[in-house]
Amino acid sequence: MRRIWLSGLLLAAAVAAGFLFFTERPLTVAIVQPEHDVALRIYGLGTVEARILSRVGFEVGAALTRLSADAGDSVAKGQELAILHSAEQEARVARAGAAVTANEANLAKADAAVVRARAVLAQREAANRRQQGLALRDVASVQRAEEAQRDEDVARADLAVAEADVAVIRAQGLDAAAALRQEEALLAHHRLVAPYDALIVARHAEPGTVVKAGDAIFTLIDPATVWIQAYVDEERAGQLALGQPGTIRLRSQPAAEFHGTIARIGIESDRVNEERRVWLTCADCPAEMFLGEQAEVRILTGTRASALMVPEVAITGFDGHRGTVWTVQDSRLARVGLTFGARDDRGRVEVTGGLPEGAAIVTSPPKGAAEGRRARVGEAP
């Protein structure tokens, strides 16, 4: 019985010793070390896009008779891209042109009528003056004088009518010329030209297809306006500013690093993904870029001569500005509330205040961490 009692006592002592060993032994922890020349970068994921992208088509509908370009072609401003069947519109143009020609002939005829009316008026005026003089000397009768005056008045009225006819025909000529220009403009709409120096991304129709007004025939981009559209987490977007430099990695060229600059920051965030859009121009990207290709960007928002950068996973209750971390001070673990500032693209946050003198921040608290437990600095297991 005594032997059993001694065995139980030894077992209890062993359990107690084991418990004390596992709960009171110093924990080995890694701490955050001060860093110098710290680059603060923000990570964003996006795609290659073009600022100027146009889906061009005709302003009228008809059958496509010719396509002069294809996807991948580079075209100059004003270069022909496609032609519509235009026989009907050409006939309208010819008809409008004939109306202009007829108006010109009518105008010439009316001008001649005005010249004739002026000559007749001059003759009637001379005859009237002669008859009025003879009537005053009682050489001619008063009736002859009145008839001469009437003839002059009629000739003057005929001249006014002829001049009015000229004015009417001139107005009709303006209308005919405007109608001709309208038909010529509609005929020009049967020819599709490049609106600027462009690269053709896609061709959406083939010859013989009957298209409606506004249907897209080609998708064009201005290759000089290719840039990177990236999405940045709203929590980090407050550090963004126009002109900040960034590095770009294309999915098709993961080993290459290109350089760009923020050219635009979206004024509207994505309400679902809680992200903000930014656009970066690229200074040394390849000449051949592919729209929609995935790209990663890292934007340099600032630098620090010296900083403590704490992994976000080591912070509890983090609200973007404040949080709690484990610290080692006088070889004991303690929980301390800190304030934080800028973040980087490695999931770390800059400590801005609240760290007690002589305390070091634990990068990854080990299992069993508790307030006041002994700890020694080393490589965390």
pLDDT tens-digit series, residues 123-151? 888 877 777 777 776 666 667 777 777 88
Which DSSP category does 33 fall into?
P
For 315-340, what is each residue's pLDDT tens digit? Answer: 988 888 899 998 988 888 889 999 99
Q: Is residue 232 domain-shared with residue 149, that is, in the same domain?
A: no
Tell me if 6 is assigned to some domain: no
Tell me if 1 is assigned to some domain: no
pLDDT computed for residue 156 by the predictor: 86
Q: Are 336 and 348 in contact (CB under 8 A)?
A: no
Tell me if 274 is assigned to some domain: yes
Residue whose C-alpha is closest to residue 141's, from 151, 149, 131, 128 = 131
Question: What whole-number distance in Å separates Cα of residue 56 and Cα of residue 215?
Answer: 8
Mean pLDDT, rounded, for 56-76: 94
pLDDT computed for residue 20 by the predictor: 45
Q: Are 114 and 92 in contact (CB under 8 A)?
A: no
Q: Is residue 167 domain-shared with residue 201, that is, in the same domain?
A: no
Question: What whole-number distance in Å separates Cα of residue 211 and Cα of residue 60?
Answer: 8
Q: Is residue 278 domain-shared with residue 337, that is, in the same domain?
A: no
Q: Is residue 250 domain-shared with residue 159, that is, in the same domain?
A: no
Give the total number of structural domains in the chain: 4
In the numeric block, which tokens belong to residue 44?
């964003």
Question: What whole-number distance in Å separates Cα of residue 111 and Cα of residue 106?
Answer: 9
Percent above pLDDT 70 for the chain: 91
Tell me if 17 is assigned to some domain: no
Mean pLDDT of the chain: 87
Q: Is the pLDDT of residue 76 over 90?
A: yes
Residue whose C-alpha is closest to residue 96's, from 190, 182, 172 = 182
- In whole angstroms, how far apart are CA 31 and each of 309, 315, 329, 333, 377? 11, 13, 11, 12, 7
Q: Is residue 227 domain-shared with residue 281, that is, in the same domain?
A: yes
Please give the model's pTM, rounded to 2 decimal places.
0.70
Question: What whole-number distance in Å separates Cα of residue 219 and Cα of residue 217?
Answer: 7
For 267-309, what is each residue's pLDDT tens digit? Answer: 988 888 889 999 999 988 888 889 999 999 999 998 899 999 9
Question: What whole-number distance in Å separates Cα of residue 126 and Cα of residue 134?
Answer: 13
pLDDT computed for residue 132 by the predictor: 73
Q: Which of 221, 238, 268 is the last residue of a domain?
A: 221
Q: Is residue 277 domain-shared with residue 327, that is, in the same domain?
A: no
Mean pLDDT, rounded, for 168-186: 94
pLDDT computed for residue 57 by the predictor: 95
Cα 62 to chain centroid, rounded: 31
Domain holding 100, by residue range, is: 86-189
Q: What is the dihedral of CA 121, 122, 127, 129, to 10 degrees?
A: 110
Q: Is residue 93 domain-shared with residue 185, that is, in the same domain?
A: yes
Contacts of residue 183, defined as CB under 8 A and 6 or more positions apart, other chains included, come to 89, 92, 93, 95, 96
User: Which stretches does DSSP call E strand in 57-211?
Assistant: 62-67, 74-75, 80-84, 191-193, 198-203, 210-211
Q: Which of 170, 204, 221 is the last residue of a domain?
A: 221
